[in-house]
Structure 1
Amino acid sequence: MALSKTRGSKIVGIVSIVPKNTEDNLQLDLLSETDREAILLHTGIRFRRKANYKQNVKELYKKGIERLLEQLNWDTSSIDVLICVTQTPQIAIPSIACQLHGDMAFPLNTLSYDINSGCSGFVYGLHTVNTLISSLEKKNARAILCCGDISSQLIDAEDRSVKPIFSDAVSVIGIEMMDDKTAISGYFNLQTEGSGQKAIFTEKMEDQNQYMRLNGIDVFNYSLKLVPNNILELLKFAEKDVEFPDLYVFHQANKVINDAISRKLKLNIEKVPSSLYEFGNTASASIPLTLGSIWNKTITNSGWILLSGFGVGFSLASALIPFEPKFCSVPEEI
């Protein structure tokens, strides 16, 4: 698909949910004191959130949807599309979207399904939702997009390369059709480089558990080779220059990768927010969670922001969107 446009829709609200339980990389018994300092310097991650044994991604989504509906004064009966982007469902079938549909009494006509995607999943999900609701024969159609993972479910407690990076979180995004259905709601560049499928993957072990494996050098190389070009192609398609977006909100991979991409694009560092120190790598929730962390302190000029997700797959996706939500909440602990 690569380059495309969507029309008529807008993000009106974002809620992010994180588990209250916090782990500190500077207190991580798995590493020596020297290695702990090196991890913080390299990744930019000090704190990570970890769900307790009672929490799962569906329950976090449910809490986020409740908060979103309350903030927007929406009712479940008004929702036309419900999409969940995750790689950590508690059960394989039925989909989380269908479970939420039943648990929260969404109407029969609410289109509901899951997307199995990781680090690029928010941008892919946003494109999917924008396309779906713009095709509906309904004025002011509404959608809810849920993104995020309980990544701790996939982590080997003794894996020194994975454990200090990944964190549990979800984001729930409200999207609505505008009165002007011809207005551009986003420019998108969606790409896949399947030769990078082994950069991040899961492996089934003898105990029958699946654990995430990470080849850090491959992730860095694919990211630096592909992401800047993906963004530049997108800006050319939108007929905008690098200075145009108010913000560049990257997937929160790690500090070294995101700094390298920023340098390659020659970005003003003030335009590149980070939530890594406080929240770590929160998979497909990382872009909306980062927006919630900084939005109330952001001064806009163009009213447009650039989003870029990249990772598992190797999948990458960028979007240039107008962004003036009714609210964009700081992450809420539960």
Structure 2
Amino acid sequence: MGKIRAGIIGLGTYVPADVLTNSDLEKLVNTSDEWITSRTGIKERRIIDKNQAASDIGAIAAAKAIDESGLNPEDIELIICTSLSPDMIAPSTATIIQHKIKAKNAAAFDVSSACAGFSFGLSVGTQFIENGTYNNVLLIGTEAISRFIDYSDRKTCILFGDGAGAVVLAKVEEPYGIVANYLGADGNRHEHIRIPAGGSSVPASEETVLNGEHFLKMNGNEVFKFAVRVIPQAIDNVLQIAGLKKEDIDLFIPHQANKRIIDSAIEKAGIDENKVFINLDKYGNTSTASVPLALGEARENGLLKKGDLTLLIGFGAGLSWGANIVCWAL
């Protein structure tokens, strides 16, 4: 028997039905389809139903992942949820999803790393499998980020959309499974992406609501420079940990933030653009859900087969970043 790794044995995704197009945004702010497309690559994004929360769409994706894995909800021993738009500060969104999918035997907690959350969660889940603590771990990235967007702010409202993706992790034999993980953070730049109010630093008040301090704020120029710098570094570092070369990777799946960021970063990293999967034109930036959503769509498009090496990259608020190499086991 080969070495045991944590591997993905089930994958599920979900996007809301409601579509917000660039043409729709032209009616809300001073923008145009051409302006948005040329600067971001985004044509439309999905918006969650008014009666849904992040846990609702996360639970749908989770149920799909569990179904593909061949397990029952009772077999899940740990749930890790990552989200920039949790249902509430407490309890964790993971525990709410546990209730909704009836995974009554699972421990549950949230990981807060914004758009890099799926990379962080995958790294954490891998440890629990490989150290023998748990056999079946459910990882969910779910976002209702539209609830935190100011639709009079052109800098942010054109970018973000809602969606969810989930994977079930379990023991697999080499060469399959999670090959390597790399994580990083730079708290010196934490102010560049933030939701200022609602925590203990700036408690909610009438003033914070009137001032729009519960909406996402972002310094786009600084985030662009940060992302273009750290994406190549993250790729090089995780490849070094794995003992692999860029040429060994079959498919690169970066966080779907902005096509200009992705194009600039992969050029700097010296990666063949034909090996990079992009679907942000249809969904926008879905934060922590973007990588599993892209992973699911890449598989649907026939771009992933068993044994393929996939390199996942996340980056966002914190500022934080991460990369994971996965040998596809499905």
Q: TM-score, normalization: structure 1?
A: 0.88
Provide the rounded CA distance (Å) in 1 between the counterparts of 2:303 and 2:139. 23
> Which structure has the higher relative contact order (CA within 8 Å, separation 6+)?
1
| Residue matched to 2:73 | 76
Q: 1:268 to 1:32 in 2, by over 3 A?
A: same
| Residue matched to 1:307 | 312
1:216 deviates by 0.8
1:42 deviates by 1.1
| Residue matched to 1:67 | 64
Provide the rounded CA distance (Å) in 1 between the counterparts of 2:8 and 2:163. 20
Matches within 5 A, 1:89-128: 89-108=86-105, 110-128=106-124
Residue by residue over 1:129-187, the C-alpha shift from the partner in whole angstroms, topping out at 9 and shown as x without a partner, is: 1101222356xx11111102101111012010100100000111111112x48976321
Structure 2 residue identity aligned to 1:323: W
**1:175 aligns with one of 169, 173, 182:** 169
Q: Conserved in 2, the CA contact under 8 Å of 1:25 and 1:47?
A: yes
| Residue matched to 2:151 | 157
Matches within 5 A, 1:240-279: 240-279=244-283
Q: Conserved in 2, the CA contact under 8 Å of 1:246 and 1:301?
A: no
Provide the rounded CA distance (Å) in 2 between the counterparts of 1:214 and 1:7. 41
Provide the rounded CA distance (Å) in 2 between the counterparts of 1:84 and 1:48. 22
Matches within 5 A, 1:1-334: 8-28=5-25, 29-32=27-30, 35-108=32-105, 110-136=106-132, 141-178=135-172, 180=173, 185-204=178-197, 205-207=208-210, 210-296=214-300, 297-298=302-303, 303-325=308-330
| Residue matched to 1:329 | none
When the two structures are aligned, how many residues end up with a matched partner? 315
Provide the rounded CA distance (Å) in 2 between the counterparts of 1:137 and 1:97. 18
Aligned Cα RMSD in Å?
2.1
Structure (1 or 2) with the greater helix fraction: 2
Helix, strand or coil at the partner of 1:267: coil
Question: Runs of 5+ in structure 1 lacking a partner?
Answer: 1-5, 326-334
Helix, strand or coil at the partner of 2:246: coil
Question: Runs of 5+ in structure 2 lacking a partner?
Answer: 198-207
Structure 1 residue identity aligned to 2:7: K
Provide the rounded CA distance (Å) in 2 between the counterparts of 1:231 and 1:49. 29
Structure 1 residue identity aligned to 2:320: S
Q: Conserved in 2, the CA contact under 8 Å of 1:81 and 1:133?
A: no
Provide the rounded CA distance (Å) in 2 between the counterparts of 1:320 and 1:279. 24
Q: 1:71 to 1:87 in 2, by over 3 A?
A: same
Q: Conserved in 2, the CA contact under 8 Å of 1:133 and 1:142?
A: yes
Q: Conserved in 1, the CA contact under 8 Å of 2:17 and 2:46?
A: yes
Provide the rounded CA distance (Å) in 2 between the counterparts of 1:61 and 1:69. 12
Residue by residue over 1:282-312, the C-alpha shift from the partner in whole angstroms, topping out at 9 and shown as x without a partner, is: 1011111112112232165962111110111
Provide the rounded CA distance (Å) in 1 between the counterparts of 2:256 and 2:174. 32
Q: Conserved in 2, the CA contact under 8 Å of 1:57 and 1:88?
A: yes
Provide the rounded CA distance (Å) in 2 between the counterparts of 1:302 and 1:77. 29
Q: 1:107 to 1:301 in 2, by over 3 A?
A: closer
Provide the rounded CA distance (Å) in 2 between the counterparts of 1:211 and 1:31. 16
Greater than 6 Å deviation, 4+ residue runs: 181-184
User: What fraction of aligned residue pairs are identical, expressed as a percent?
Assistant: 25
Q: 1:198 to 1:8 in 2, by over 3 A?
A: same
1:80 deviates by 1.3
Helix, strand or coil at the partner of 2:45: strand
Q: Conserved in 1, the CA contact under 8 Å of 2:307 and 2:328?
A: no
Provide the rounded CA distance (Å) in 2 between the counterparts of 1:80 and 1:213. 36
